[in-house]
């Protein structure tokens, strides 16, 4: 066989090559048959599969302790692929208010397709059994929850789901696989917005779903059918992000714990929620299902009202006023005005977010720099000073 022109001496490139091909030449009709019959792995058309994407799928599967993983164009594509693959008309879905806001938009589409939906607050998770019906097919949750960092006991939800053999799906974006592996706690599938900590640099959008090979096959079918396959360049960036993922996750969790301990003592901060604090109502559950720290997400109320929260954010110099999370830079937003914006106003507040609640995503900056920034911005709140932000 002729040498591979990319590696003529077997000298592998140090980074995963970006394969931008949309289609691939068949070596023969026999090879075409073998690929089509699933006898051999082979690349044929980008909507089916791509070698750069496949490399990332293997790495994310390993991080989650999964047999395999399907990577797609965004976190919401991943959530939607899960709903479309497993739910049909008449099925019942239990989902929590405290999940990323765009799930609400997708829920409107699902209802139009005949899926029945029950919304619960994360702090009602222990009563989930009361909401399970014979038709319940899926329970979808985030823990720590988004944005309030409430904790749901995944193993307890698994137990409740077993009454009707419903699937348990966990969006693990907030926790990250460095701190939590839902599959080991009884979840059937783990979903990620890989746009966040897995990519980690605010420069790509991707989603991932990890689980058994059987789930991989079903989800792969959906992706291939609807065309949510990630492009090779984004897969390359994600692959590069994954190289430092564990280092970043470790640094972020350490800083988050220090920042949370500082915030806990401040008079202009209330309802602070960080699962690593002993004062968190579900700290014990968090400690049992998370490891090596508690991630980098915090939620808290600033001062008395929305103006105080805006004053605080406008005064920050290091922390960026932006949505998204899990990045190298610390990011802060008011969920009422951003991630939860598309929920009807009354739904935005029913599960506990206030107009002065902020969601802080810690980055890799040293904790003392973040604390200095937060301290001076809270001083502006205390003095009623508004800076141009
Ligand atoms: C927890 C969580 N899941 C899913 C998503 C959706 O991800 P994407 O923006 O990549 O579609 C987000 C986005 O912020 C999120 O925070």
Please count the other Cβ atoms lying within 10 Å of the Cβ belonging to residue 45: 13
Nearest CA owner, ligand 1 atom 8 = 75
Phi, psi of 264 (to 5 degrees): -60, -25
Determine if ligand 1 sits within 6 Å of the CB of residue 207.
yes
Ligand 1 test: best mutation among 73, 106, 107, 173, most atoms within 8 Å of CB? 173
- Angstrom CA distances, 225 to 46, 84, 195, 250, 329, stand at 12, 11, 23, 38, 36
What is the pLDDT, as a whole number, of residue 35?
87
193: CA distance to ligand 1 center in Å? Answer: 5
Cα distance between residue 354 and residue 21, in whole Å? 48
Question: Which of 217, 243, 269 finishes a domain?
Answer: 243
Question: Which of 243, 260, 293 finishes a domain?
Answer: 243
What is the pLDDT, as a whole number, of residue 151?
98
102: CA distance to ligand 1 center in Å? Answer: 8
Catalytic residues: 47, 100, 171, 196
Which residues make Cβ contacts (< 8 Å) with residue 5, sequence separation at least 6? none
Determine if ligand 1 sits within 6 Å of the CB of residue 234.
no
**Are 259 and 356 part of one and the same domain?**
yes
Determine if ligand 1 sits within 6 Å of the CB of residue 86.
no
**Domain annotation covers residue 34:** yes
How many structural domains is the chain composed of? 2
Phi, psi of 112 (to 5 degrees): -65, -30
Closest C-alpha to 123, from 103, 95, 98, 140: 98
Cα distance between residue 147 and residue 359, in whole Å? 6
23: which strand partners? 45
CA angle 61, 25, 205 (to 5 degrees): 35
Q: Report strand pairing: 167-171 vs 189-193.
A: parallel
Question: Which of 184, 211, 243 finishes a domain?
Answer: 243
**Are 86 and 210 part of one and the same domain?**
yes
What is the pLDDT, as a whole number, of residue 348?
83
- Angstrom CA distances, 138 to 4, 10, 95, 126, 172, stand at 46, 47, 8, 16, 16
Determine if ligand 1 sits within 6 Å of the CB of residue 142.
yes
Cα distance between residue 319 and residue 313, in whole Å? 8
Q: Name the residue range of residue 230's domain.
A: 29-243
Are 72 and 208 within 8 A, CB to CB? yes
Assign residue 209 a region: left if phi > 0, alpha if psi is -120 to 50, beta otherwise?
A: beta
Q: What is the enclosing helix (H) or strand (E) of 77?
A: helix 75-86
**Are 354 and 291 part of one and the same domain?**
yes
What is the pLDDT, as a whole number, of residue 181?
98
273: which strand partners? 299
**Are 148 and 127 part of one and the same domain?**
yes
Nearest CA owner, ligand 1 atom 9 = 75
72: CA distance to ligand 1 center in Å? Answer: 13
Cα distance between residue 226 and residue 229, in whole Å? 9
Are 116 and 135 within 8 A, CB to CB? yes
Which residues make Cβ contacts (< 8 Å) with residue 228, sequence separation at least 6? 72, 73, 77, 81, 207, 222
**Are 253 and 376 part of one and the same domain?**
yes
Are 60 and 190 within 8 A, CB to CB? no
What is the pLDDT, as a whole number, of residue 40?
87
Record the pTM: 0.96
pLDDT in tens, the chain (389 residues): 566 766 777 788 899 999 999 999 999 999 999 988 889 878 999 999 999 999 999 999 999 999 999 999 999 999 999 999 999 999 999 999 999 999 999 999 999 999 999 999 999 999 999 999 999 999 999 999 999 999 999 999 999 999 999 999 999 999 999 999 999 999 999 999 999 999 999 999 999 999 999 999 999 999 999 999 999 999 999 999 999 999 999 999 999 999 999 999 999 999 999 999 999 999 999 999 999 999 999 999 999 999 999 999 999 999 999 999 999 999 999 999 998 888 888 888 888 999 999 999 999 999 999 999 999 999 999 999 888 65
Determine if ligand 1 sits within 6 Å of the CB of residue 171.
yes
Alpha carbon 74 to chain centroid distance? 10
Tokens coding 235:
């897969």
76: CA distance to ligand 1 center in Å? Answer: 6
What is the pLDDT, as a whole number, of residue 9?
77
Domain containing residue 379: CATH number: 3.90.1150.10
Residue 319 burial by Cβ neighbours in a 10 Å radius (0-12, 13-18, 19+): buried
Determine if ligand 1 sits within 6 Å of the CB of residue 140.
no
- Cis upstream peptide for 112 (omega within 30°): no
Determine if ligand 1 sits within 6 Å of the CB of residue 282.
no
**Domain annotation covers residue 204:** yes
**Are 55 and 110 part of one and the same domain?**
yes
Reduced to 3 states (helix: H, G, I; strand: E, B; else coil), residue 7 is coil
- Which single residue is written with the structure tokens 């823990």? 143
**Are 148 and 291 part of one and the same domain?**
no
Report how far apart the first and last C-alpha atoms of the chain are (Å, whole number).
63
**Are 127 and 42 part of one and the same domain?**
yes
Closest C-alpha to 363, from 292, 295, 271: 295
Nearest CA owner, ligand 1 atom 15 = 100
28: CA distance to ligand 1 center in Å? Answer: 42
């Amino acid at each position: 066989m002729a040498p591979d022109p990319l590696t003529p001496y077997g000298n592998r490139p140090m980074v995963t090559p970006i394969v931008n091909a949309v289609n691939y030449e068949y070596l023969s009709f026999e090879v075409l048959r073998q690929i089509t019959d699933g006898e051999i792995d082979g690349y044929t058309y980008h909507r089916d599969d791509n070698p750069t994407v496949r490399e990332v799928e293997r790495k994310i599967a390993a991080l989650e302790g999964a047999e395999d993983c399907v990577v797609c164009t965004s976190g919401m594509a991943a959530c939607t692929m899960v709903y479309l693959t497993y739910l049909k008309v008449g099925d019942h879905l239990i989902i929590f208010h405290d999940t990323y806001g765009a799930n609400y938009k997708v829920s409107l589409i699902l209802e139009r397709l005949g899926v029945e939906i029950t919304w619960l607050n994360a702090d009602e998770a222990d009563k989930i059994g009361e909401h399970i019906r014979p038709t319940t097919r899926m329970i979808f949750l985030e823990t720590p929850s988004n944005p309030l960092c409430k904790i749901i006991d995944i193993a307890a939800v698994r137990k409740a789901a077993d009454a009707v053999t419903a699937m348990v799906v966990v969006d693990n974006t907030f926790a990250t696989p460095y701190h939590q592996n839902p599959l080991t706690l009884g979840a059937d599938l783990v979903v990620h917005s890989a746009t966040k900590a897995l990519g980690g640099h605010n420069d790509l959008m991707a989603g991932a779903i990890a689980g058994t090979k059987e789930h991989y096959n079903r989800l792969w079918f959906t992706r291939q059918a609807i065309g949510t396959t990630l492009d090779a360049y984004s897969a390359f960036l994600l692959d590069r992000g994954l190289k430092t993922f564990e280092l970043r996750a470790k640094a972020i969790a350490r800083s988050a714990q220090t920042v949370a301990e500082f915030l806990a003592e401040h008079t202009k901060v209330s309802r602070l929620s960080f699962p690593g604090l002993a004062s968190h109502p579900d700290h014990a559950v968090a400690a049992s299902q998370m490891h090596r720290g508690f991630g980098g997400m915090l939620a808290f109320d600033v001062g008395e009202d929305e103006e105080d929260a805006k004053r605080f954010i406008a005064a920050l110099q290091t922390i960026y006023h932006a949505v998204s999370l899990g990045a190298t830079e610390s990011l802060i937003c008011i969920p009422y005005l951003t991630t939860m914006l598309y929920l009807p106003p009354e739904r935005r507040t029913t599960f506990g977010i206030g107009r002065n609640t902020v969601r802080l995503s810690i980055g890799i900056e040293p904790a003392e720099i973040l604390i200095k920034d937060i301290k001076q911005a809270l001083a502006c709140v205390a003095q009623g000073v508004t800076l141009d932000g």
